[in-house]
């Protein structure tokens, strides 16, 4: 197939129809097959305010796609004989390690270290993701952790702290900033002239795209003030990144053995093989119809990125966007089908969850919904006239009724099922929800929980308040959040407008008085808080 195959190009264009609706944000798409660029296009605007279209020169923040480049910096230092990825990280950053268990550099690369995630720790400190966040902020909160989520190599858990530590190791060993080292050893040799790590939040990125999110009918700025790097903050173009991906096929900047080490998925202590290695997802059978692949997605603010290589078919895809209106991972999968001539039904089979109610009748579904299982989820649904809204970080997103009790939240890639049988679905993940009702038991013993709780690891404090018979969790930087009981001495609370919340498990002393709690998020488990006397 030549790059001028107009029929396939038109079908790929159609996948990005939402980026072609007048003056709106959009993205870059570049596709290569057999070493030849077979499709490239740009859609939408890098700056909606200034009417600056996205071009091939537009530079995007690509979020977690950054991780693979950070890993390569560390592996190049291993090629130089300056470090060994099987060393304990204390050999390089002993001042940033306060936990007892040995963690290797390789554990960081493969997300099996057990270290708590920096973003969720910062969130627990009261930092909001639209605050200015520096590399020092991230390093400081990592270095004060005295416990791990789990012993290394006993579980896989995605963790941004791992790659902040890898960036620090690379800088200390090389004596250069991560951006300087990457430019000398990766970007310049590969001709990636528009690629860099943004390591200060005030840094100007030439041709940089702004980030936009649609809330209801309004287009807003999704603010991103990161000065952190290693886990994120690579800035590049799709054309530049194709040069990086070409190195996976024919290595120029490293030895072929280095790539093999980068792509080598670890085996956990219980014998489980995971599908994450070297800052990349590798051959996860749940993705891309089971085709062998290496790749990674990224998501910060409204920036979205998807980069994937299919080595058997020799296909590379890079999609970078400054908005979340297109599910770009799904678009990448459809592009591969188009290139390979695979026909799939446009109508996906509807395997609806148990909490779907086709006979859903009009009822008062506004209220607070929550999960009481592994995932702490809280969805606040409000009604205004005949319209329902989901309260989110940037405001109220209108809910669109698909059918029965099934609702779509704007352009979000998830569904809510409301009413007496409720739930949340994201892709294949289905989580039942309950609608909160005032807890009379909690009203009776609420004062036992009331007080101030402090964390030595986070250097911050929370208050538990009793108001009008309900319990609330309050922090000086965030408004108070309703505490919902899910089990004896266990509660969940919302955080920052996100659907994902935190779980609090209270501890009691020998006299049964409440003595503290441990708080868990998805990637930061059991952080201890002691009750102040």
32 and 5 Cβ atoms separated by less than 8 Å: no
**How much is the pLDDT for 500?**
83
Q: Which of 225, 244, 214, 202 is nearest to 65 (CA)?
A: 244
Give bridge partners of residue 503 from the DSSP assignment: 492, 520
Residue 524 to residues 114, 123, 422, 519: CA-CA distances in angstroms? 9, 10, 27, 8
- The whole-model pTM stands at 0.95
**How much is the pLDDT for 350?**
66
Reduced to 3 states, what is the DSSP secondary structure of residue 435?
strand
**How much is the pLDDT for 495?**
76
Domains of the chain, start order: 36-340 (3.40.710.10), 367-435 (2.40.128), 440-531 (2.40.128.50)
* Percentages of the chain per state (helix, strand, coil), in multiples of 5: 25, 35, 45
Beta strands in 276-335 (DSSP E): 276-277, 280-282, 294-300, 303-310, 315-321
**How much is the pLDDT for 216?**
74
Half-sphere exposure of 133 (CA within 13 A, CB side): 26
Question: How far is it between the farthest Cα atoms of the chain?
Answer: 77
Separation CA 324–CA 155 (nearest Å):
30
Q: Which of 505, 219, 503 is nearest to 377 (CA)?
A: 503
CB-count exposure of residue 460 (10 Å: 0-12, 13-18, 19+): middle
Cα pseudo-dihedral 315, 266, 104, 233, rounded to 10: 30
- Distant-in-sequence, close-in-space partners of 291: CB < 8 Å, separation ≥ 6: 310, 312, 313, 336
Low-confidence stretches of the chain (pLDDT beneath 70): 1-4, 345-350, 362, 410-412, 440-444, 496-497
Q: Which of 42, 54, 46 is nearest to 16 (CA)?
A: 42
**How much is the pLDDT for 396?**
84
337's enclosing H/E stretch is: helix 328-340
135-151 per-position pLDDT tens digit: 999 999 999 999 999 99
At 24, list the tokens: 């709106």
DSSP structure string for 159-203: -THHHHHHHHHHHHHHSS-HHHHHIIIIIHHHT-TT-EE--STT-
**How much is the pLDDT for 194?**
98
- Distant-in-sequence, close-in-space partners of 495: CB < 8 Å, separation ≥ 6: 123, 478, 481, 501, 502, 521
**How much is the pLDDT for 4?**
55
**How much is the pLDDT for 533?**
82
**How much is the pLDDT for 323?**
97
**How much is the pLDDT for 6?**
83
């Amino acid at each position: 197939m030549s790059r001028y195959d107009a029929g396939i190009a038109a079908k790929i264009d159609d996948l990005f129809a939402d980026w072609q609706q007048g003056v709106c944000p959009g993205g870059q798409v570049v596709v290569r097959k057999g070493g030849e660029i077979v499709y490239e296009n740009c859609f939408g605007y890098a700056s909606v305010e200034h009417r600056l279209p996205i071009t091939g020169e537009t530079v995007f923040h690509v979020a977690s796609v950054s991780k693979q480049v950070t890993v390569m910096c560390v592996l190049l230092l291993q090629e130089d004989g300056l470090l060994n990825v099987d060393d304990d990280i204390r050999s390089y950053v002993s001042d940033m390690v306060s936990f007892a268990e040995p963690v290797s550099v390789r554990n960081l690369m493969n997300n099996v270290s057990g270290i708590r995630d920096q973003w969720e720790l910062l969130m627990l400190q009261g930092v909001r993701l639209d605050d200015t966040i520096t590399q020092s902020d991230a390093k400081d909160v990592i270095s004060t952790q005295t416990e791990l989520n789990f012993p290394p190599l006993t579980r896989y858990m995605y963790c941004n702290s791992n790659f902040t530590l890898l960036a620090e190791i690379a800088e200390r060993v090389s004596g250069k900033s991560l951006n300087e080292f990457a430019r000398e050893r990766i970007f310049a040799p590969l001709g990636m002239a528009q690629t860099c790590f943004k390591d200060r939040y005030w840094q100007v990125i030439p041709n940089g795209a702004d980030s936009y999110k649609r809330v209801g009918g309004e287009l807003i700025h999704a603010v991103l003030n990161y000065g952190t790097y290693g886990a994120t903050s690579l800035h590049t173009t799709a054309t530049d990144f194709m040069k990086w991906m070409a190195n996976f096929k024919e290595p120029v900047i490293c030895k072929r053995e280095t790539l093999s080490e980068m792509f080598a998925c670890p085996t956990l202590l219980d014998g489980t093989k995971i599908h994450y290695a070297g800052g990349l997802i590798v051959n996860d059978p749940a993705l891309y119809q089971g085709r062998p692949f290496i790749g990674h997605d990224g998501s910060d603010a409204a920036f979205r990125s998807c980069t994937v290589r299919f080595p058997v078919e020799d296909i590379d895809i890079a999609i970078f966007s400054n908005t979340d209106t297109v599910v770009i991972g799904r678009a990448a999968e459809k592009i591969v089908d188009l290139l390979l001539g695979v026909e799939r039904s446009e109508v996906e089979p509807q395997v609806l969850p148990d909490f779907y109610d086709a006979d859903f009748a009009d009822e008062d579904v506004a209220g607070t919904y929550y999960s009481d299982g592994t995932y702490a989820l809280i969805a606040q649904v409000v009604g205004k006239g005949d319209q329902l809204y989901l309260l989110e970080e940037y405001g109220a997103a209108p809910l669109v009724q698909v059918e029965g009790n099934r609702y779509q939240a704007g352009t979000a890639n998830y569904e809510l099922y409301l009413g007496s049988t409720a739930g949340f679905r994201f892709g294949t993940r289905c989580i039942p929800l309950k609608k909160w009702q005032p807890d009379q038991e909690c009203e009776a013993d609420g004062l036992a929980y009331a007080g101030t709780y402090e964390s030595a690891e986070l250097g911050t404090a929370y208050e538990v308040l009793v108001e009008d018979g309900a319990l609330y969790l309050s922090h000086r930087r965030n408004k108070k959040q309703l505490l919902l009981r899910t089990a004896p001495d266990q509660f969940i609370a919302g955080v920052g407008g996100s659907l994902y919340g935190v779980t609090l498990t209270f501890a009691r002393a020998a006299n049964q008085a409440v003595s503290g709690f441990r708080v868990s998020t998805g990637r930061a488990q059991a952080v201890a808080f002691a009750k102040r006397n």
